[in-house]
Structure 1
Amino acid sequence: MKKIVVGGQIDKKEVAELVEKYGDGKFEIETKSDLEAAMALKSGAADYYLGACNTGGGGALAMAIALVGRDATVTVSMPGNLMSEEEIRENVNKGKKAFGFTAQHKDTVVPTIMEELKKIN
């Protein structure tokens, strides 16, 4: 079973609940600090990382970018800028492993990310 870690700076509990809801029991889900979550992704202890913050890229993805590299990460929303559903799906299918977004977009982006992850896992 693939493992998803939820990191980021805010709304971890809510994001984890959405990941679980839309994961349909197909993923193991764990909430960690952003550093612990990024380290789990880097070590292979986790397969995917989702995190929320106020900017979508700073506190949500900074540690993941530092530890697994920019090529494995994507900011799917920022204040005033939300990727389309198609762009989010493309990023999942390009092999991105860490997804950052603003907390206010969690209800929009998490279902799309999870739908795509279920297709490839």
Structure 2
Amino acid sequence: MINVVIGGQLNKQQIEKQIMELGGSDVNVSVKSDLDAVMALKNKQADYYVGACETGSGGALAMALALIGSDSCVSIATPSTIMEKEQIEEAVKDGKVAFGFTATSSKNVIDMLIPILLKK
């Protein structure tokens, strides 16, 4: 079982629904404010943080970058690029636990990210 918190600025309910559909009983998902989501991650009440905004890094990851540091965070989709599955796997392998992405890419990146997190 993995615990995922959703922060960021956009599509929180859509992201929650998609994660629950992909993960089933293997994923516990909660939607929180950015601060509460990152604090849950920092305090080991969550395993992973995901968030969406227009840029994939600003509103999606600002609080995570500030509180847990850039070594734990990665933008997996920006307006101009979306990471390949292999790049996301490498980011997870490298210890990234907070993932930001654009609202428009959320379906595609969540479809790649959640199975990778469940395999870890």
TM-score, length basis structure 1: 0.95
Aligned length: 120
Deviations 1:73-112 (A, max 9, x none): 1000110111112111211222210000001001110011
Q: Which amino acid counterpart does residue 43 of structure 1 have in structure 2? A: N
The match for 1:59 is 59
Question: Counterpart of 2:31 in structure 1: which amino acid?
Answer: T
Match in the other structure for 2:70 = 70
Is the partner of 1:78 in helix, strand or coil? Answer: coil
Question: Identity of counterpart residues, as a percentage?
Answer: 45
Offset from partner CA, 1:25-73 (integer Å, 9 cap, x none): 2011100011110111111111100100000000000001111110011
**Letter of the 1:106 counterpart:** S
Normalising by structure 2, we get a TM-score of: 0.95
List gaps (5 residues or longer) in structure 2: none
1:34–1:63 CA contact under 8 A, matched in 2: yes
* Structure 1 CA distance for aligned equivalents of residues 66 and 40 of structure 2: 13
After superposition, the CA RMSD in angstroms is 0.9
**Displacement of 1:24:** 2.6
Structure 1 residue runs without a partner (length 5+): none
- Whether the aligned pair in 1 keeps the contact of 2:2 and 2:118 (CA below 8 Å) is no
Judge conservation of contact 1:41–1:48 (CA < 8 Å) in 2.
yes
Tell me, in whole angstroms, the C-alpha distance in 2 between the residues paired with 1:79 and 1:55.
6
| Residue identity in the other structure for 2:60 | A
